[in-house]
């Protein structure tokens, strides 16, 4: 059984109160973690979801199966968003299949934990190629096809305001994404297209697990202590915030850096 959808079974939505009926969304990096939770949440709200992945075809297929099992609509599309040709194919396939695109969530990212002095040119290029460059050109493609009133969400990290040692390349790429958000919000404002950054705090994902392996054993407990709500976040905590931001109710919110981190400092 799918844990994310099953854990939310008490709030299954009826067609009369779904906020995203008729919308089509692309979620990059949607085969697991936060991306998966976003895709499933959108489907619960009535959206048709394009589940993008670079690797991990079997995981992406499981997300599609879970969504369809619960009555939603979804399609899996492989694309490496670091390649412009793949990006064009991703957006083109979405438009060809569904006739429109209303929402883009730039979630795909890679992670690097390495001291700045040890970071190689290859390390730097790999991180920025996906986290910054890929997202930049995904937004460019979205800007060309989104209708008036569309939505773009960029996933960043609340750690860009902290500056943890060893995360220079990763946090630098995420900070670039935050600047793209503010600029594009101004450029697309006349079309009522909103563009926002959601900065996720520590969240139970494979990325966090990878980071914790490089930190002292007590690091996770310290993260919890720094969070007023007293726990590590779950992917659905982030997905719920994003589901609101792409709804009509958030039409007056754009160009914002929104922390979804339980108040962690």
Q: The domain that contains 31 carries what CATH number?
A: 3.40.50.720
pTM: 0.91
- Residue 105 CA, distance from chain mean position: 5
Per-residue pLDDT tens over the stretch 197-238? 999 988 887 776 777 667 677 778 888 888 899 898 899 999
Distance CA 159, CA 174 (A): 9
Given a contact cutoff of 8 angstroms between Cβ atoms, the answer to whether 25 and 102 are in contact is yes
* 229 in a structural domain: no
pLDDT band at 14 (very low <50, low <70, confident <90, very high): low
Q: What is the pLDDT of residue 212?
A: 65
* Percent of all residues in the chain with a pLDDT value above 90, rounded to a whole number: 78
Encode pLDDT of 140-153 as tens digits.
Answer: 999 999 999 999 99
Tens of pLDDT, residue by residue over 158-200, are 989 988 889 999 999 999 999 999 999 999 999 999 999 999 9
Q: Give the confidence band of 4 by pLDDT, cuts at 50, 70, 90.
A: low
Collapsing DSSP states into helix, strand and coil, what is residue 131?
helix
Residues 6+ apart with CB under 8 A from 35: 27, 28, 29, 105, 107, 108
Q: What is the pLDDT of residue 13?
A: 58
Residue 241 has pLDDT above 80, yes or no: yes
Residue 7 is assigned to a structural domain of this protein: no
The answer to whether residue 210 sits within a structural domain is no
Q: Is residue 225 part of a domain?
A: no
- Asked if residue 166 belongs to a domain, the reply is yes
Percent of all residues in the chain with a pLDDT value above 70, rounded to a whole number: 92
d(CA 86, CA 213): 33
Number of domain units in the chain? 1
Residue among 233, 256, 229 nearest 245 (CA): 256
- By mean pLDDT, which of 7-11, 43-47, 83-87, 169-173 is the weakest? 7-11
Work out whether strand 24-27 and strand 257-260 pair parallel, antiparallel, or are unpaired. Answer: unpaired
- Active site (catalytic) residues: 170
In a domain, 9, yes or no: no
> Where does residue 223 rank: exposed (0-12), middle (13-18), buried (19+ CB within 10 A)?
buried
Residue with tokens 């976003």: 38
User: What tokens were used for 151?
Assistant: 């939505």
Residue 81 lies in a domain: yes
Structural domain includes residue 28: yes
CB contact set of 160 (below 8 Å; sequence gap of 6+): 171, 174, 175, 178, 199
pLDDT(133) > 90: yes
Instruction: Tell whether the model's pLDDT for residue 9 goes beyond 60.
Output: no
Q: Which of 244, 233, 237 is nearest to 194 (CA)?
A: 244
Q: At what angle do helices 135-145 and 168-188 cross, to 10 degrees?
A: 20
Instruction: Give the range among 15-29, 210-224, 231-245, 251-265 with minimum mean pLDDT.
Output: 210-224
Q: Which domain holds residue 256?
A: 20-203+235-260
pLDDT value at residue 207: 76
């Amino acid at each position: 059984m799918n844990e994310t959808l099953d854990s939310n079974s008490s709030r299954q939505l009826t067609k009369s109160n779904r906020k995203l009926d008729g919308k089509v969304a692309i979620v990059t990096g949607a085969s697991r973690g936060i991306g998966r939770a976003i895709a499933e949440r959108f489907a619960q709200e009535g959206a048709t979801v394009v589940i993008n992945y670079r690797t991990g075809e079997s995981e992406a297929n499981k997300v599609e199966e879970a969504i369809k099992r619960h009555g939603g609509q979804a399609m899996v599309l492989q694309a490496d968003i670091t390649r412009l040709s793949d990006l064009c194919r991703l957006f083109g396939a979405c438009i060809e299949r569904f006739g429109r695109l209303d929402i883009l969530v730039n979630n795909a990212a890679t992670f690097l934990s390495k001291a700045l002095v040890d970071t190689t040119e290859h390390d730097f290029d790999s991180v920025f190629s996906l986290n910054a460059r890929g997202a930049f050109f995904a937004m460019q493609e979205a800007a060309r096809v989104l209708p008036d009133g569309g939505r773009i969400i960029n996933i960043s990290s609340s750690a860009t305001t902290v500056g943890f040692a060893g995360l220079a390349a990763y946090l630098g790429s995420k900070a670039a994404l935050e600047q793209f958000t503010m600029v594009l919000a101004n450029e697309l404002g006349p079309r009522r297209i909103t563009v926002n950054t959601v900065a996720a705090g520590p969240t139970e994902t494979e990325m966090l697990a990878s980071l914790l392996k490089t930190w002292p054993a007590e690091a996770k407990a310290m993260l919890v202590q720094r969070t007023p709500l007293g726990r590590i976040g779950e992917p659905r905590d982030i997905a719920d915030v994003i589901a609101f931001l792409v709804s009509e109710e958030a039409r007056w919110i754009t160009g914002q850096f929104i922390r979804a981190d339980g108040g962690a400092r």
